[in-house]
């Protein structure tokens, strides 16, 4: 048999019509009938399977049912767990302080208090001797230090020495820098290697102006500070702050991670901008 005849025979099998009839068993009355071919059955079964897979994928990816799947992480649950961890730590500190306070009261009530007798004249004489031994004249090292500080304040990034003294930058995380600030490669940031879920802290007081997910850089937080300064934190695993929140220096704003398309491992991508221009964070912050 030639290949052409085989193809024609196969096509006839696919297109050969069959009649599916539903009969009443008692009266043999025809209740339902439909004409089918093997090709129709194959197409209907294939479309049904595709629709079933698509519906299952939609339910898992875009509905709250995904949180019931073992191993699936929920950003909301992580945020709640982080907040509860911080509250627990604060409560432990309060309990320790209260224990010390109650212990002091207990010693007073039980009379377990030691008294010391002080000689007023001897104390005054000792203080006067210490004051007389102190030299208030500036040393050579002190003069050189004062001159160095004056020069640093004069050519500081900030407008005056008052700004620099009142505006201190806090390290968001501590760790080794995997990629530094490089203007030629347009890498206006430093990448600090940290463990996943390491707390990321605000570098200074400010207001959160952006806290969202982006496909390229994952969870991102942007904070606006005083003196037209902006700090950017990228590739976080989750966020603990929302847009419009007011934060203090050293306050936890996110958990470090490995989110986004442009990440190469758990780290923090940290940027500093002053008056619309990028600056090198290592000039003002020690990350180690």
| pLDDT per residue as tens digits for the range 206-222 | 999 999 998 888 999 99
Across 99-103, 113-117, 138-142, 239-243, least confident range: 113-117
| pLDDT top residue among 76 and 42 | 42
Kindly state the average pLDDT of the residues 105-116: 67
| pLDDT top residue among 102 and 199 | 199
CATH number of 177-283: 2.70.70.10
Q: At what angle do helices 38-62 and 3-15 cross, to 10 degrees?
A: 70
| pLDDT above 60 for 118 | no
Would you list the domain boundaries of the chain? 3-62, 77-111, 121-166, 177-283
What confidence tier does 31 reach under pLDDT thresholds 50, 70, 90?
confident
How high is the pLDDT of residue 123?
Answer: 67
| pLDDT top residue among 34 and 128 | 34
Kindly state the average pLDDT of the residues 8-24: 78
What confidence tier does 190 reach under pLDDT thresholds 50, 70, 90?
very high
Q: Could you tell me if 56 and 66 are in contact, meaning their C-beta atoms sit under 8 angstroms apart?
A: no
For 87, residues 6+ apart whose C-beta sits below 8 A from its C-beta are none
| pLDDT top residue among 138 and 271 | 271
CA distances from 273 to 1, 74, 161, 222, 228 (A): 79, 32, 19, 11, 8
Kindly state the average pLDDT of the residues 267-278: 91
Sign of torsion over alpha carbons 232, 236, 240, 243: positive
Other beta carbons less than 10 A from residue 201's beta carbon: 19
pLDDT tens track for 36-68 = 888 888 888 899 999 999 988 887 777 766 666
How high is the pLDDT of residue 18?
Answer: 80
User: From CA 155, how far away is CA 58, in angstroms rounded?
Assistant: 58
HEC sequence for the chain: CCHHHHHHHHHHHHHCEEEEEEECCCCCCEEEEEEEEHHHHHHHHHHHHHHHHHHHHHHHHHCHHHHHCCCCCCHHHHHHHHHHHHHHHHHHHHHHHHHHHHHHHHHHHHCCCCCCCCCHHHHHHHHHHHHHHCCCCCCHHHHHHHHHHHHHHHCCCCCCHHHHHHCCCCCCCCCCEEECCECCCCECCEEEECCCCCEEECCCCEEEEEEEEECCCEEEEEEECCCCEEEEEEEEEEECCCCCCEECCCCEEEEEECCCCCCCCCEEEEEEEECCEEECHHHCCCCC
| pLDDT above 60 for 155 | no
How high is the pLDDT of residue 234?
Answer: 93
| pLDDT top residue among 233 and 125 | 233
Average pLDDT, the chain: 80
């Amino acid at each position: 048999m030639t290949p052409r005849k085989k193809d024609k025979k196969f096509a006839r099998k696919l297109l050969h019509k069959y009649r599916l009839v539903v009969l009443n068993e008692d009266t043999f009355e025809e209740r339902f009938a439909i004409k089918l071919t093997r090709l129709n059955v194959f197409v209907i079964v294939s479309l049904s399977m595709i629709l079933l897979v698509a519906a299952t994928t939609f339910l898992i990816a875009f509905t709250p049912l995904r949180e019931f799947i073992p191993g699936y992480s929920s950003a909301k649950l992580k945020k709640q767990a982080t907040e509860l961890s911080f509250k627990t730590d604060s409560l432990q500190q309060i309990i320790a302080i209260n224990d010390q306070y109650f212990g002091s009261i207990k010693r007073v009530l039980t009379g377990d208090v030691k008294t010391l007798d002080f000689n007023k004249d001897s104390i005054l004489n000792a203080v006067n001797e210490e004051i007389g031994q102190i030299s208030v004249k500036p040393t050579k090292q002190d003069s050189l230090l004062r001159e160095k500080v004056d020069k640093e304040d004069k050519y500081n990034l900030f407008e005056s020495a008052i700004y620099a003294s009142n505006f201190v930058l806090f390290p968001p995380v501590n760790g080794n820098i995997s990629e530094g600030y490089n203007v030629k490669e347009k890498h206006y940031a430093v990448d600090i290697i940290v463990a996943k879920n390491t707390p990321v802290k605000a570098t200074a007081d400010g207001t959160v102006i952006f806290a969202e997910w982006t496909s390229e850089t994952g969870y991102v937080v942007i904070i606006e500070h005083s003196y037209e300064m902006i700090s950017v934190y990228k590739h976080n695993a989750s966020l603990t702050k929302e847009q419009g929140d007011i934060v203090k220096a050293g306050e936890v704003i996110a958990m470090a991670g490995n989110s986004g398309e442009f990440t190469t491992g758990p780290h923090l991508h940290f940027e500093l901008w002053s008056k619309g221009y990028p600056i090198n964070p290592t000039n003002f912050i020690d990350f180690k």
